[in-house]
Amino acid sequence: MNIELCITKSANGDEGAFKELFDHLNDRLFRYALARTRSRDEALDVVQQTFIDLWEQLDRFTYSSDPQFYQYIYLILKRRIGKLYRRQAHVSLDEMSFEGVYEMDVYSEDELRTVLATMQKLKGSYREILHLRHWSGLSFKEIAGVMGGTESSVRVTHHRALESLKAKMPH
């Protein structure tokens, strides 16, 4: 998929091109939002609002690279999640839904609860990189675009985040 072409066409009102962007991004954004909100309905709501915001802002967006676009779309999503958190109290781990979590279907719900509870003990940048990599399925290059670093620094941080997570996991 040519993201730049889809953005250009979408900015000019081409709904088919925007649907291509939606199809390309929806699952990734949903998995990230689900990991952050811990509620399927809330994740769906913030992703839907993210796409509405994107549609409304594309005519003012200037494409320079795919990583820069990912940074832009994830910034919109993070702001939407932030607004959600400001409006309500956090959901407890016992109330969360794990439906649709990326590459995590090999774990039981109890194992996922343990991982997510342990992730809360990690510093913010570690949690963020693990969410982007393992819930959104982004490549290290894409994560670098979202987080504003280099691919090599993202790889190092990811490795450190995994090591920290392993060290904090209950045995």
CATH number for the domain spanning 140: value is 1.10.10.10
pLDDT at position 108: 64
For 113-122, write each residue's pLDDT tens digit: 788 788 889 9
Of 17-31, 73-87, 154-168, the range with the lowest mean pLDDT is 73-87
What mean pLDDT do residues 58-65 have? 91
More confident residue, 26 or 100: 26
Query: How many beta carbons lie within 10 A of that of residue 15, not counting itself?
Result: 11
7: CATH: 1.10.1740.10
Supply the pTM of this predicted model.
0.64
Rg (CA), the chain: 16
Q: So what's the pLDDT on residue 107? A: 56
- Domain end call among 71, 95, 119: 95
Q: What is the pLDDT, as a whole number, of residue 115?
A: 81
Could you tell me if residue 149 is inside a domain?
yes
Q: Which residue, 95, 115, 143, sits at the end of a domain?
A: 95
Q: What's the confidence (pLDDT) of residue 138?
A: 84
Instruction: Judge whether residue 110 has pLDDT over 90.
Output: no
- Mean pLDDT over 64-68 rounds to 91
Is there a single domain that holds both residue 87 and residue 111?
A: no
Residues 74 and 136 in one domain: no
Q: Which domain holds residue 112?
A: 107-171
The 10s digit of each residue's pLDDT in 141-170 is 888 888 888 999 999 999 999 999 889 988
pLDDT confidence of 44, banded at 50, 70, 90?
very high
What is the predicted pLDDT for the residue at 36?
84
Same domain assignment for residues 80 and 27: yes
Mean pLDDT of all residues belonging to the chain: 84
pLDDT band at 87 (very low <50, low <70, confident <90, very high): low
Q: Is residue 82 part of a domain?
A: yes
For range 92-98, the mean pLDDT: 45
Same domain flag for 142 and 169? yes
- Among 33, 67, 95, give the residue marking a domain's end: 95
131 vs 44, more confident: 44
Same domain, 89 and 124: no
User: Which tokens is 135 given?
Assistant: 């819930």
Domain contains 100: no
